Amino acid sequence: MTPRRVVVTGLGALTPLGNTVSEYWNGLINGVSGANEITRFDASNFKTRFACELKDYDPNKHFDRKEARKIDAYAQYALISTKEAIKDSGLDLESIDLDRAGVIWGSGIGGLDTFITEITNFSTGDGTPRFNPFFIPKMIADIAAGHISINYGFRGPNYSTVSACASSANALIDALNYIRFGRADLFITGGSEAAINVGGIGGFNGMHAISTRNDDMKTASRPFDKDRDGFVLGEGSGTLIFEEYEHAKARGAKIYAEVVGAGLSADAHHMTSPHPEGEGARKSMAYAIKEAGIEPKDIDHINTHGTSTPLGDIAEPKAIVSLFGEHAYDIIINSTKSMTGHLLGAAGAIEAIASILAINESLIPPTINHFTDDPDIDNKLNFNFGEKATPHKITYALSNTFGFGGHNASIIFKKFEE
């Protein structure tokens, strides 16, 4: 069968740069850093004492107290960004076939806050097991998808994808494929993460994966900079409404972009380190380009995975040069993680939103916090270093997301045309 066209008709975001899509975008194009001292817990004894937390987040503004106690933060975030996306999409839930509307959601960890709280309470108690009856349903990584489905009555495919930092990109790709091949008409898709807690910071410190630049936290996320020392942990959620084109057209929906290609691959190399030559990343990008029916020379912009880690920031540029050849130097590349930090399983979703808005606004957010070129990186590439966005007409934007375990996901968005 001929694959059906898939378009994006709604966006929602809850990020360290702002609690709505417009606030998030304004932060990106103005080069704002979301890093600050950790307020979630006393981090004074940790090697890292800062992160990209949500700002002014109060669950009681979104949920009643009884409901909030039943839902882990990562699922709260999912519900909040989804509410914005549903409103943005203009969906009339009474006029669509809810049996053909689904939810595919990504989270790399799920309810880590809940897990830590319950185990801490048990281990510091008298040994009597007094676990919250909502412990398991709050913690499991699929429950955000379940809550979204219950809230909106979507009875189509409903599940979560878990592939570390590629989780929400995998969710988007699955949603794309279900719609393309006729198994559904509409999906709520995206991802959320809430890992800024003693386990998240302590665990990543133990791996030496996150920055310890406590004396200069605003510039700690330094993708592609010689002196980068790890990523900055972020939190939040991103929701996209994926819809079959004719379905969207019939209801007069506004269309942000078309989703035209996706690629998945595995490094099959190492538990946490990427393939040193970026082979898996090159393949996922190549697969996405082939699926989109375009040539490498057609890509105008790449939102890189660009985490600010020593090895990852070398492998991805190698993959780009290997795949795109001389055209690599004409592509405007950026890493929005320089501002948002790394939202782990939610990264693919919020970066897809950034890519789509870049297409719509003909404006590419910068890669901030660049001070020194790394001789191990091809610095002829245009990383869009600076503090402000760059005007640029974009027809095709590619967004990369890679995860521990060697999971690689690339997705291509196209400027919408009838």
Catalytic residues: 165, 305, 342
Q: Identify the CA nearest to 162 among candidates 104, 203, 201, 202.
A: 104
Number of neighbours of residue 33 by Cβ within 10 angstroms: 22
Nearest CA-CA partner of 242 in 82, 18, 75, 417: 82
